Structure 1
């Protein structure tokens, strides 16, 4: 396994839009096509294909909160926010998610950001367990029905 983050370019849009999570996760994860459509309307947002060699295994979007014009009261302006992340059905539980988190932490650290934040639906026990196993801890804040989590980079 050789996991990298590849900034999304034109030729990645259709293949990334075709990646899907399992049917049991559809209500928790926005479709990539929706995320790609929103990307250019969120200041400070960066999109990456999660790659294993030349194989697209997932997708993520991260916001440098220092560059984001629409911070909410619970947002930490000195953090990177993992806004969207998905690993494709059939590629999950193989270490890609944790490898991607480590690379996103490197990206944030390289930008001088001390923390990586994310959120997930409170009732998504699998996502909460995954993020906690990847070093995140709940902050005590909520964004609607989503738990806010943080970890140092």
Structure 2
């Protein structure tokens, strides 16, 4: 069963060992970077994605209502998927899709009316994945990434 749990101390080494495929390298930050950066991002929440007791990925959210650095044009009411990394050995098993469903539930429970993320335009598989979950391009480009959004 897939769950999202806030990252704890004992999760660090398993999360550090997770890497993406060579093709995906450069499209998502390594978990070490996300975990180091998260304490300095207001409104950030970082979760270990677990399949039962095994850590298979990391999901990080930013609630833009709490975030001090919302950029021009970004939706200040949205929960924003900041990072999603499923380890290469765990991909194509439905873990990312299940984790995203839990992320939508998390955002709804917090009262966010919308959910957003961004993706590197060259990442066609990532764009297709997010679109299959109902996220649609907004026309906004932030830091060179295509912004997507959906109502909750």
Could you tell me the TM-score, scaled by structure 1's length? 0.97
- Partner SS for 1:23: coil
1:85 corresponding residue in structure 2: 84
Matches within 5 A, 1:22-101: 22-101=21-100
Find the counterpart in structure 2 of residue 124 from structure 1.
123
1:74: how far off?
Answer: 2.1
Q: Secondary structure at the match of 1:151?
A: strand
CA distance in 2, matches of 1:11, 1:57: 14
The runs of at least 4 consecutive aligned structure 1 residues that moved more than 4 Å come to none
Over residues 77-118 of structure 1, what are the superposed CA-to-partner deviations in whole Å (9 max), with x where a residue is unaligned?
A: 111010000111021111111111110000000000011100
1:98-147 CA-to-partner distances (Å, cap 9, x unmatched) read 11111000000000001110001011101001111111100110013210
**Number of equivalent positions:** 152
Give the match for residue 102 of structure 2.
103
The answer for unaligned runs of 5 or more in structure 2 is: none
Gaps spanning 5+ residues in structure 1: where? none
- CA RMSD of superposed structures (Å): 0.8
Distance 1:137 1:11 in 2: 36
Post-superposition shift, 1:25?
0.6
- In structure 2, distance between residues paired with 1:152 and 1:100: 18
